[in-house]
A and B are shown apart, each in its own frame.
Chain A
Amino acid sequence: MRAALEAKRRHADVALISKVHPVRSHSVAAQGGINAPLGQSDTWESHAYDTVKGSDYLGDQDAIEALSREAAQAVVDLENMGVAFYRGPDGRLAPRNFGGASTARTYFVGAITGHAILHVMYEQLLRAGVKIYEEWFVTSLVNEGGFTAGLVAQELLTGRFHPIQAKAIILCTGGCGRVYEPSTNALICTGDGMSLAWRAGAPLMDMEMVQYHPTTLPSNGALMTEGARGDGAYLRNALGDRFMSKYAPNKLELASRDVVSRAEQVEIDEGRGVDDGLGAKSCVYLDCTHLPREFILERLGEIYEIARQFANVDITTQPVPVRPGMHYMMGGIKTNVDGRTRVPGLYAAGECACVSVHGGNRLGANSLLDTVIFGRRAGAHAAEFARQVEFRPLSEGAVLDSERRAQEVLGRPANGDSIAKVRMELGQTMHQYAGVWRDGKGLNTALSRIYSLKERYQRAPVQDKGKVFNTNLVFHWELGYMLDNAEAILVSAIHRTESRGAHYRTDCPERDDQSWLKHIVLDYRPGAAPGIQYAPVTITRWKPEKRVY
């Protein structure tokens, strides 16, 4: 929405297409806040350094500089548009602490920061008069002569397929969390944009970098914001110890997410885990009980509610069992700092894109920032691009192709299999073999399973044969996208024979800057394994060093 707004402000003719109503998009669930070096003693260099270090030196420093230099203005812009950030006694914006940051620079609205920002973005779209196609599902991107020509989308209400011509397309389609089971992500996070772009000729980068968030609920994978630890909560093992002192003696609970998640997993694996309520000791405690009740309700109200609902725990009086859970894709569609992909006219921004500012591990509260900074930049550049080029013809064949695919799927006979079964096996496989710990053998096992799931996908029937609001058919499209994402994650993870950021290989546990200070870039090849290439990491001023928290 930030991209659409920027393009509209620059007088482009803009439409927004979304498979759900815009305020249902998953940014709504971002809790903790958004980073900006707004404090008096803070600097953009400090924020940039923290981000580089958090990325385990895989982030491109030119992109990170853009992120940090523009962050303060971006957060002020959001405030000016109406985001109700919390204030200090002087009426000015007041930040909270967050993981991996050398000072408090996370600006927030309770534990609903994403919700507060997303709704303001929607308000601004209404104000600007951007045309919105809501509940339209994109089934393909179309190129003509190597340029973006438009796309084909299915209108869910009627089931009809429509061609939409466009000089430029900006993909802001979020991550692919549902490729994992469990995940903190919403059911709509199925990696649609990454697969669409990949198949349209734009490569994917850093796909092996999958973030596990340290504090998720065992019952349904729901997120407990890092803001809890930022506001002073502890992590404890079954012995009651604040175990982070062993793993990150300086930052403790506020080390970067990959470090905290691994530490938790070690505690759990070595038998110091606590009961998850499902019959296993697969958790550690998130303990807020030493914080004043009023303070928790004011600043962490949303997770107070979530823990009460989904774990039956009152966090003001009891510690809540949490464990690492799949949360975010650092990797995505390779773009430059203006959101451009390899395909002229095709742009990407936000979680579906890989600029790369997050490298091997994203810092908390840098994702909302990523969306507004690179959304704005992509919107600006795409508007300029659209001014300079002509429309490309969008062939009728593209629509017919989607219609034919839908017909074929709807006509499949029952065979005992289902979209849901294939998806569940996909998610469990990824969680088991491509989670906090990985090794070459397991990753290869997972990849061969993904290929057999791809075959099952080609035959799996859908039960709903109708046209109106056929969500069953939507799940079919989504599963295809998810399988592409899973393949890209596994191929990259197998290829990177070192440990860096969120990618930890038990069979190669050291970081290897000699061989691997570079991005893995994957090309889609129809009917064949992905083509593997490399891209250098851009280093401007921060040389790689050992990472200690």
Chain B
Amino acid sequence: MQVTYLVKRLNPERERSPRFEQFSLEVGEYDSVLDGLIKVREELDGSLALRCSCRAAICGSCAMRVNGEPRLMCKTRVRDVAEDGQVKVEPIGNLPVLKDLVVDMGPFWEKVRAVKPWLEPPPEKPEREYLAPNEAMREVVGALACVMCGACVSNCTVWEVDPNFLGPAALAKAHRFVADPRNSDNAERLKQLGEYTGIWDCTHCFYCVQACPKDVAPMERILALRREAIAHGYTNHNGVRHSDSFAQSVKQSGSLNEGRLAVESQGYLNLPALLGLLPVGLRALRAGKMPSPFHHKRPGAAHVKRIFEKVEGPRS
């Protein structure tokens, strides 16, 4: 089929801002978007810069955005994404562009290095392998299937506003070790992951789950790390209080009490932080967005409470 590729180009030696360039080409029925880009590079413009290698969705080189969505180009068929015969290809987001479709992965790897990305087995070595249940290994494989392509980071809404956030890929990598029954320093890891830039900074927007080409579901792994952190007793944290308050409010009244949530997330005794909320409250008041101090039960709240009780099960 005949398609038009709209490719975002940037030659840092000649220009300061990117531009779109159009290429018309013929692609086969099962051709990937990458096949088309290679065709452009080989037949139309040899100066087009992109990374690609294995063509089988395992080396992780070719994450780019196609019609806005971050994907592996080798794993995306042209016919599945073309809109009116047009395919728009851009570099992945949230990372600096070096040239055309090539981004600087430096910040990405920096975050990976920050989560102590290796197994820390117990000091006493076994004679042979460590014994471990296969189910646990299967869980670990779900996380280590990550190919470090950066598609999740491209979509991360927290990274976008705070580039210090460790981000979905590094945190999924962290979960790979915490979930591994052979790892021996989970307490230490979870403590570190609970700090600023870590697991509590995720806003569960689901974009990374949607973007991941290997079904790693990074956000689910961040949530699993939170559960592990709580289980390890790391509960003195705004994130923990936030999620407790959120759940209690919905359980009791059937809806979210936003005012209470803001206060309870900081903790009633945390005066400096509560004072810090004042300007936000005032701005909300001026904009007419201050939640009502009177939070009423919604109709059917009792029903919601019963759902909670059923899910939580009998408390011991």
Residues of A within 8 A of B (CB): 20-21, 23-26, 28-29, 38, 76, 79-82, 84-94, 109-110, 112, 115-116, 119-120, 123-124, 126-127, 157, 186-188, 219-220, 222-223, 277, 298, 302, 305-306, 309-312, 418-420, 462-472
Q: List 23 A-B contacts (CB under 8 A).
A: A21-B105, A24-B54, A80-B126, A82-B182, A84-B137, A84-B141, A84-B180, A86-B138, A87-B137, A89-B134, A91-B133, A124-B118, A186-B54, A187-B52, A188-B53, A302-B58, A418-B46, A464-B47, A468-B11, A468-B99, A470-B49, A471-B41, A471-B50
Point out the residues of chain A lying under 8 angstroms from B125, CB to CB.
80
Cβ contact within 8 Å between B145 and A29: no
Residues of B within 8 A of A (CB): 11-14, 30, 32, 35, 41-43, 45-47, 49-61, 75, 77, 98-100, 102, 105, 109, 113, 117-119, 121, 125-126, 128-134, 137-138, 140-141, 144-145, 147-148, 180, 182
Determine the residue in chain B with the shortest Cβ distance to A109: B141
- Contacts known (A76-B128, A76-B129); A309 close to B137, Cβ less than 8 A: no
A-B contact count (CB 8 A): 165
Cβ contact within 8 Å between B61 and A24: yes
User: Distance (Å) between the CB of A533 and the closest chain B CB?
Assistant: 35
Taken together as a complex, chains A and B put the C-alpha atoms of A3 and B117 apart, in Å, by 20
Taken together as a complex, chains A and B put the C-alpha atoms of A25 and B147 apart, in Å, by 12
Question: In the complex, which of the residues A79, A89, A186, A419 contacts B59, with contact meaning CB atoms closer than 8 Å?
Answer: A186
- Going nearest first, the 6 A-B pairs with the smallest beta carbon separation are A463-B46, A82-B119, A420-B42, A464-B47, A91-B131, A123-B118
Taken together as a complex, chains A and B put the C-alpha atoms of A28 and B18 apart, in Å, by 33
Point out the residues of chain B lying under 8 angstroms from A21, CB to CB.
61, 105, 109
Cβ contact within 8 Å between A24 and B30: no
Determine the residue in chain A with the shortest Cβ distance to B182: A82
Cβ contact within 8 Å between B144 and A84: yes
Point out the residues of chain B lying under 8 angstroms from A467, CB to CB.
13
User: Distance (Å) between the CB of A173 and the closest chain B CB?
Assistant: 14
Taken together as a complex, chains A and B put the C-alpha atoms of A471 and B60 apart, in Å, by 18
Taken together as a complex, chains A and B put the C-alpha atoms of A420 and B148 apart, in Å, by 29
User: Distance (Å) between the CB of A106 and the closest chain B CB?
Assistant: 15
Point out the residues of chain A lying under 8 angstroms from B53, CB to CB.
20, 24, 26, 186-188
Question: In the complex, which of the residues A92, A123, A219 contacts B129, with contact meaning CB atoms closer than 8 Å?
Answer: A92
Question: In the complex, which of the residues B46, B121, B131 contacts A464, with contact meaning CB atoms closer than 8 Å?
Answer: B46
Cβ contact within 8 Å between A466 and B134: no
Point out the residues of chain B lying under 8 angstroms from A465, CB to CB.
47
Point out the residues of chain B lying under 8 angstroms from A312, CB to CB.
30
Cβ contact within 8 Å between A220 and B134: no
Point out the residues of chain A lying under 8 angstroms from B180, CB to CB.
82, 84
User: Distance (Å) between the CB of A224 and the closest chain B CB?
Assistant: 10
Question: In the complex, which of the residues A80, A112, A298 contacts B58, with contact meaning CB atoms closer than 8 Å?
Answer: A112
Point out the residues of chain A lying under 8 angstroms from B41, CB to CB.
420, 471
User: Distance (Å) between the CB of A518 and the closest chain B CB?
Assistant: 36
User: Distance (Å) between the CB of A93 and the closest chain B CB?
Assistant: 5
Point out the residues of chain B lying under 8 angstroms from A309, CB to CB.
57, 75, 77
User: Distance (Å) between the CB of B63 and the closest chain A CB?
Assistant: 12
Taken together as a complex, chains A and B put the C-alpha atoms of A312 and B77 apart, in Å, by 11
Cβ contact within 8 Å between B55 and A187: yes
Most buried by B among A20, A29, A81, A465: A29
Cβ contact within 8 Å between B11 and A466: yes
Point out the residues of chain A lying under 8 angstroms from B49, CB to CB.
464, 469-471
Taken together as a complex, chains A and B put the C-alpha atoms of A464 and B42 apart, in Å, by 12
Point out the residues of chain B lying under 8 angstroms from A80, CB to CB.
121, 125-126, 129-130
Point out the residues of chain A lying under 8 angstroms from B100, CB to CB.
469
Determine the residue in chain B with the shortest Cβ distance to A73: B128
Taken together as a complex, chains A and B put the C-alpha atoms of A264 and B171 apart, in Å, by 46
Determine the residue in chain B with the shortest Cβ distance to A278: B28
User: Distance (Å) between the CB of B55 and the closest chain A CB?
Assistant: 6
Taken together as a complex, chains A and B put the C-alpha atoms of A306 and B53 apart, in Å, by 15
Determine the residue in chain B with the shortest Cβ distance to A312: B30
Q: List 5 extra interface pairs beyond A81-B119, A470-B47, CB under 8 A.
A: A24-B60, A38-B128, A87-B133, A468-B98, A472-B46
Cβ contact within 8 Å between B46 and A82: no
Determine the residue in chain B with the shortest Cβ distance to A420: B42
Taken together as a complex, chains A and B put the C-alpha atoms of A26 and B133 apart, in Å, by 30
